[in-house]
Amino acid sequence: MLITNSMLQTFIKYIASHQLATQDDHILLAISGGADSVAMLDLFAKAEYNFAIAHANFHLRGDDSNRDEAFVRALAKKYNVEIFVKSFDTQSYAAEQHISIEMAARDLRYAEFERIMNQHGFDSTAVAHHIDDAIETFMLNLLRGSGISGLTGMHPKNGRIIRPMLCFTRQEIEDYIKNNGLEYVTDVTNFENEFSRNKIRNCVVPYFEQINPSFRNSFADTFKYMQQVKEIYFEEIERQKNVATICEPDNLKIDIDQLLQYPHREAFMFEILRQYGFNKKQVQQIGHSLTGESGKTFSSPSHQLLKDRKYLIINKLNQAAASPLFIQKSDIDKGVFYWGDYKFEFEICDNANINLKCGSETAFFDYDKLTFPLEIRHWHNGDTIVPFGRKQPKKLSDIFIDHKLSVVDKERTAILCSGGNIIWAVGLRAAETCKVTSETVRILRINSAL
């Protein structure tokens, strides 16, 4: 009974010291039926918090999955609390998303917790991670080459997810279960070494324990210091970010000259670029390109980075992913067309009463000289245009240089073609081809906007 009272007091103190919950909060407990979550459930009940239970059935272990669900339903009756149960086709989801079973289960579980909290007014969801889980996660992240964020252990609170059991080791939880006569279910797959976490749990951790029997407590102390170090580290990253980056509505620019002054620029670049999906190897490659020629590109699953003369410029991939748009003569009456970030407005006008003076966002063409379908596309290497008032063609790349366009701006520029010939580098130069003359009867006016 002494162990029970001691753990209960530690539990209550830990929740209060980390401001995880109050007696007025409505807390959702993630209960699998295993020893960790059963102990957490019992401690919450003894501490007299206001809570309900959530259980996810991932249908990965046949009859055992249904056994676990039945057991947790029985726990809800025993403690007289509300229960939410959700079944998932985890294998199908993993296949659809091209992710591991472990990652699929995690995504599904936390998405369901979020749904229940929003729909039923819970303040937080408590999960039963303990010190051993934090150690295993640290080692997994170490193997994957994680940055400092992955090496600081699990946090007591992450958004609305709370971890009130991080003050206990697995052994302390097992002792609590035994001394209180609590029943729980065992996931036999925990003893199989098919998954990396199980290998660490069953093979690596026992080996460390042989070297230092108190290494779990040593790890816990190290996590506390590392979390403080991380705060200092990210304060400095944020300071450098304010100096070296320019955040614009459509992109992020990182000043290359400023980067080259940082003695630890690879760490800075990693913390900035990983937010956009770039991995450690790509960050190293980008770092090596800083003093090279401009124009090199790097892609993550969600973003593209272009090395310009002065900046590393990061854009969402879909900004540069627009396919060619073909506009038939019969479509002109629709008036409005969209391509990439552009909005185009088309209007056929009489030549008698139109003012041809305009800004670079508007162009005029002799409607009857156009060859349909018109095409709006990205520029291609080697593209040329015969600029208005000229007789000889000029490379678009030279026009881009004249206007001092960045690599990103070049990639985003819309090109309007008629009969395969470029008649407008939108916002830059219109062509001599299809120009309006005194003999023009009908004019096609096109307004562009980004």
Burial level of 128, CB count in 10 A (0-12/13-18/19+)?
A: buried
Residues 6+ apart with CB under 8 A from 379: 396, 410, 413, 415, 425
The reported pTM is 0.59
Residues 6+ apart with CB under 8 A from 381: 397
Domain chopping of the chain, boundaries: 2-223, 248-318, 325-449
How confident is the model over 72-121, as pLDDT tens digits?
A: 999 999 999 999 999 988 888 888 777 778 888 888 999 899 999 999 99
Q: For the domain bounded by 325-449, which CATH number is listed?
A: 3.50.40.10
User: What pLDDT does 434 receive?
Assistant: 86
Q: Which helix (H) or strand (E) holds 442?
A: strand 442-449
Of 4, 55, 6, 21, nearest to 164 by C-alpha is: 21
Residue 332 pLDDT level (bands cut at 50, 70, 90): confident
Q: CATH second-level architecture of 2-223? A: 3-Layer(aba) Sandwich (3.40)
How confident is the model over 399-425, as pLDDT tens digits?
A: 888 877 766 677 778 899 998 899 999
CATH top class, domain 248-318: alpha beta
